[in-house]
Structure 1
């Protein structure tokens, strides 16, 4: 399923190609690209749920007027899907204001819907990019995340 999401993001969304609204035509194209029906439907449902998250309150437990940072406590299932490095990366993204508590929760929600035993930090970065792309007003955060995803380290690594 994640491969389909990546395919859609790279070929339609990220390339700024006009997105087709005809789900049958899109499904046919994905089948021609070699993807299976069940995985296609899972990926399209994943994208629909991402769009629906924008219309709901994803952080009902946070006080709207809270000015103190809130530490995110992960459930056992979340810890199984997001390793320590991934959770640390989410915290880093919050600290540099790429994510806020609401977009963080959207990312975690979407990660938990990906049925992959080999979910890694690189996959998480793509999910963050997809979420930010779909949230109005997060263009600067999207650009910053895109730089983090695609930047090549300069000079020798120590």
Structure 2
């Protein structure tokens, strides 16, 4: 069983690291606009015979990792080495303002926490003092109507359909 596991380990030890293979492929292809992923993959496959089964996945992973690390740059789906004379790439957003240095004997207080400060549970409750106007609070009740209600119809007469007309 130990013999079955030895060939994959020796295969991986014979292969250089993916970042090295990618950089060698970009340098060997030497295209002005850079090399795309499929061209880099074909070059690596032609120079190294025993690649792992997940070669395309590993290549994509290492290309993305190298872009984030600044080892290579991507321009219009082509990968190339960064220009050494180019200024360093700035991050997103507005850069922070430069802070003036504080004198060495200054004590810096911690920043205030965000949000509203919590209420003190030991503090006595505050009661509002109200000025009495002599009137009760709230809306006054409706006044009762003084007009008498319409007389009910005589016992043998039926009412018509719908709402009765106003008097």
Q: TM-score, normalised by structure 1?
A: 0.27
Higher Rg of the two aligned structures: 2
Higher relative contact order (CA closer than 8 Å, sequence separation 6+): 1
